[in-house]
Amino acid sequence: MKYVALAGGVGGAKLADGLYRSLQPKDLTVIVNTGDDFEHLGLYISPDLDTVCYTLADLANPDVGWGRSGETWRAMENIARLGGPEWFKLGDADLGTHLERTRRIKGGISLSSITRSFCQSWGISVPVIPMTDDIVRTHVITNELGDLSFQEYFVKHQCRPRVISFRFDGIETAKPAPGVFEAIHEADWIIFCPSNPWVSIGPILTVPGIRESIFGKKAIAVTPIIGGKAIKGPAAKMYSELNIKPSAAAVANHYKDLLTCFVIDNVDASEANQINDWGIISLTTNTLMFKVSDRVRLAGEILAFCEQQRREKRK
């Protein structure tokens, strides 16, 4: 069976890696959020694409949710000494990625072509495709500080301001990147990785045509919320601030019209009935991914569950 994984940052990258380690390369495509992309210090930075690619290439820093392992910080140290902006930390090796991406973007090369080339250089054998080659910029509208670009909200203000709403600038006219529709069309299953539903998976589904192309496909989402909390990032806080009790069920409800199946954590087993009542088949398991072996185990369980669904349908 063929799979498309929709992914944002860390959690998404981890499950994408589990799938990558479990499937034949021809059977997986990863589509990545670019709403977090921004320009900083003149560099075109794609945080989610980099997190996914570094993770698949085994270059990622295992301790934090971004950047590269064994990273050094000499450029940032010098920028700091010169009084430049320090709020967004760019490691030395990571800077190479941004410099070369920016050089190619300015040369008129599309983000998806650049990503394909980078993946080849890094030895990643599955297609990793940005959701769009067009500029989409996630903004978080907050009560205290008004309209913040995503990285201002996320990094500069550490997700502190209370969220009122989101806006994906440029999304109305954005076209899915080459290969996105084809991959979804050919896929037997769409897997929504455990990424933030509002600002990671949300932008992908809002690119015109992508949501529609997923309708009628089998789709399975993995909750990024466990026991009412997000493993990482502001997803739970966002639900609360938008007056929705953060829970696995809330995430299932978020995607309700798209889902065939939903994966919840053992600690949220009591929510399975509610999710099943919406006509979504739930898989209850350990969804935490601390080690690489956890990624492979969870991916394996999901793939087995998808396989089982197909078999049961055939009966």
Q: Which residues bind its own copies (CB under 8 A)?
A: 41-43, 71-72, 74-79, 81-85, 91-97, 99-100, 102-103, 106, 117-118, 121-122
What is the rounded CA–CA span in Å between residue 303 and residue 222?
Answer: 12
Give me the least distance between CB of 206 and its own copies, in Å please: 30
The residue with tokens 């798209």 is 258
Give me the least distance between CB of 102 and its own copies, in Å please: 5
Give me the least distance between CB of 132 and its own copies, in Å please: 22
Closer to its own copies by CB, 71 or 271: give it: 71
| DSSP annotation of 132 | B
Closer to its own copies by CB, 64 or 269: give it: 64
Q: Is the Cβ–Cβ distance between 112 and 154 less than 8 Å?
A: no
Closer to its own copies by CB, 96 or 146: give it: 96
> Do β-strands 281-285 and 261-265 pair in parallel, antiparallel, or remain unpaired?
parallel
What is the rounded CA–CA span in Å between residue 164 and residue 51?
Answer: 27
What is the rounded CA–CA span in Å between residue 38 and residue 71?
Answer: 21
Closer to its own copies by CB, 43 or 184: give it: 43
Write out the two tokens for 262. Answer: 């939903």
Closer to its own copies by CB, 2 or 104: give it: 104
Write out the two tokens for 85. Answer: 């902006």
Closer to its own copies by CB, 54 or 198: give it: 54
Strands (E), 15-145: 28-32, 38-40, 43-45, 128-130, 137-142
Give me the least distance between CB of 59 and its own copies, in Å please: 9
Give me the least distance between CB of 157 and its own copies, in Å please: 21
In three-state secondary structure terms, 6 is: strand
285-307 in b/e form (b: 16+ CB < 10 A) is bebbbeeeebbbbbbebbbebbe
| DSSP annotation of 229 | E
Write out the two tokens for 272. Answer: 């399975």
Give me the least distance between CB of 83 and its own copies, in Å please: 6
The residue with tokens 């492979």 is 296
Give me the least distance between CB of 41 and its own copies, in Å please: 5
Closer to its own copies by CB, 5 or 128: give it: 128
